[in-house]
């Protein structure tokens, strides 16, 4: 294979690693949909008491009286390490502070009908390794953004039953920077890959209350096909390789998997509630990855992924003080990674996540509530397989979420 074509093929394989990013339940999927849910580690499927129900279970929109609007942002402070298994050298990623906005609105025009709109970033992260680190030919920087808008309609035919549904519209963008060894001493080229896509999906939710204090929720968020198109942009290419290593468009498709959550909530008297969610993600829908390059000098990609389905768990406790309009929250979550060890790379350093949460809310007056939550995220240690770029990954993250609720 000629050097130029080899460089393009290597860059294409780097793109394959990047497209694993949306599957990173432990690394890139965002759980910061609002401070109320973040305070209980996302255990909200059976709880209809905040406008965030438009994301977690649209059936809850028919239960919340009147109207409400929540707006805010989450600030994510991630720290990720790569450890060379032979030398023990520890490299820290130069991660930027990430802000994740959210907006949720709900309105119940009648006793049996509810309307809602949720806007947020279900996927979004960034990762940058030091400029001259040893893995720069695998990945220098990775970024992912997936914005979602989801309007919903909910109906409550009886006192103990409600259901809701609506479409989901997503706008995704993704990028990769990496250096390319052009097989000449001391020289490196660079490639920047960027692509955008629109996707359409659906969500459906059911809420059931067999007793006054016990309720259950079931939520399904459908697969979403993102048909990406973008350009591979090469720079610092030696003149003799300029014909082979040149900018070229590409297309590829990613399928975001089904997400099914079963939740329960139990009221412990008038002031406390315990909630539990069990979450299933069908990542096995992505068994292969294909990329079609317009330039014939670049080999198209058809690679096996080997992703596996995951089950996660979230539990939360909320206590409303009878004095002063103060609400306190706490929770814990386990969010497994779907990525096998053989697929771990510096562009896809996925790990299981363990999340501990604390939250507080305060009623400023009858129409305004301030919500604040903190999550400490442990990125558990994970080692790459024998066929992957060698390395051991681990880290942690601090997440702070602020939401204002008008009601």
- Per-residue pLDDT reduced to its tens digit, 210-220: 999 999 999 99
What is the DSSP secondary-structure string of 221-276? E--EEEEEEEEEEEES--GGGTTTS--EEEEEEEEEPPEEEEEEEEE-SSSEEEEE
Q: For residue 4, what pLDDT is reported?
A: 45
Average pLDDT, the chain: 85
The vertex-78 CA angle with 72 and 80, nearest 5°, equals: 160
Q: Can you list the residues of the chain whose pLDDT is less than 50?
A: 1-27
Look up the pTM and report it: 0.88
- The predicted structure's pLDDT at residue 38: 95
Which tokens sit at 386? Answer: 């024998």
pLDDT of the residue at 364: 93
Residue 172 host element (H or E): strand 161-181
Q: What percent of the chain stands above pLDDT 70?
A: 89
DSSP letter at 84 equals -
Rounded to whole angstroms, how far apart are CA atoms 144 and 107?
32
Q: What is the pLDDT of residues 311-370, one digit of tens each?
A: 999 999 999 988 778 999 999 999 998 888 887 778 778 889 999 999 999 999 989 999
Phi then psi for 15, rounded to 5 degrees? -60, -40
- What is d(CA 394, CA 404) in angstroms, rounded to the nearest whole number? 33
Instruction: Give the tens place of pLDDT for each residue, 163-209.
Output: 999 999 999 988 888 887 776 656 788 888 889 999 999 999 999 99
Q: Measured between alpha carbons, how far is residue 294 from residues 2, 9, 210, 241, 387 in Å? A: 18, 13, 58, 18, 29
Sort residue 14 into left (φ over 0), alpha (ψ -120 to 50) or beta.
alpha
Does residue 394 contact residue 375 with C-beta atoms inside 8 Å? no
Q: Look at residue 186 in the predicted model and tell me its pLDDT.
A: 64
Cα atoms found within 13 Å of the Cα of residue 185, Cβ hemisphere only? 0
pLDDT of 28: 59
Give the count of beta carbons closer than 10 Å to the beta carbon of residue 380.
Answer: 16
- The confidence score (pLDDT) of residue 263 equals 97
Query: Alpha-carbon distance 257 to 284, whole Å?
Result: 8
């Amino acid at each position: 294979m000629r050097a130029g074509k080899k460089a393009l093929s290597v860059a294409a394989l780097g793109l394959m690693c990047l497209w694993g990013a949306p599957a990173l339940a432990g690394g890139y999927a965002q759980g910061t949909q609002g401070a109320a849910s973040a305070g209980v580690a996302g255990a909200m499927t059976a709880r209809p008491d905040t406008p965030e129900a438009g994301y977690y279970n649209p059936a809850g929109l028919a239960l919340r009286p009147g109207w409400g609007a929540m707006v805010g942002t989450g600030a994510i402070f991630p720290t990720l390490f790569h450890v060379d298994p032979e030398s023990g050298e520890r490299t820290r990623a130069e991660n930027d502070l990430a802000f994740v906005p959210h907006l949720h609105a709900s309105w119940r025009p009648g006793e049996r009908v509810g309307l809602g709109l949720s806007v947020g970033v279900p996927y979004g992260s960034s990762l940058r390794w030091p400029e001259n680190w040893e893995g720069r030919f695998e990945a220098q920087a990775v970024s992912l953004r997936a914005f979602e808008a989801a309007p919903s309609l909910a109906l409550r035919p009886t006192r103990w039953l409600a259901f809701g549904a609506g479409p989901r519209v997503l706008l995704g963008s993704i990028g990769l920077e990496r250096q390319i060894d052009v097989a000449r001493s001391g020289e490196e080229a660079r490639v920047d890959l960027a692509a955008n896509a629109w996707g359409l999906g659906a969500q459906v939710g059911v809420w059931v209350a067999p007793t006054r204090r016990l309720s259950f929720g079931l939520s399904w968020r459908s697969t979403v096909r993102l048909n990406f198109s973008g350009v591979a942009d090469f720079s610092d290419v030696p003149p003799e390789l300029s014909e082979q290593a040149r900018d070229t468009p590409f297309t590829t498709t990613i399928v975001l998997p089904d997400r099914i959550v079963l939740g329960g909530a139990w009221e412990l008297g008038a002031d406390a509630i315990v909630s539990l969610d069990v979450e299933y993600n069908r990542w096995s829908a992505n068994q292969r990855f294909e990329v079609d390059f317009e330039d014939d000098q670049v080999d198209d990609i058809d690679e096996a992924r080997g992703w596996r389905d995951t089950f996660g768990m979230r539990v939360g406790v909320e206590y409303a003080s009878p004095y002063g309009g103060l609400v306190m929250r706490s929770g814990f979550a386990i969010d497994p990674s779907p990525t096998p060890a053989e697929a771990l790379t510096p562009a896809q350093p996925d790990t299981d996540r363990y999340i501990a949460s604390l939250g507080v809310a305060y009623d400023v007056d009858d129409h305004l509530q301030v919500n604040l939550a903190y999550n400490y995220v442990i990125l558990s240690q994970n080692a790459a397989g024998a066929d992957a770029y060698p390395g051991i990954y681990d880290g942690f993250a601090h997440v702070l979420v602020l939401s204002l609720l008008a009601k």
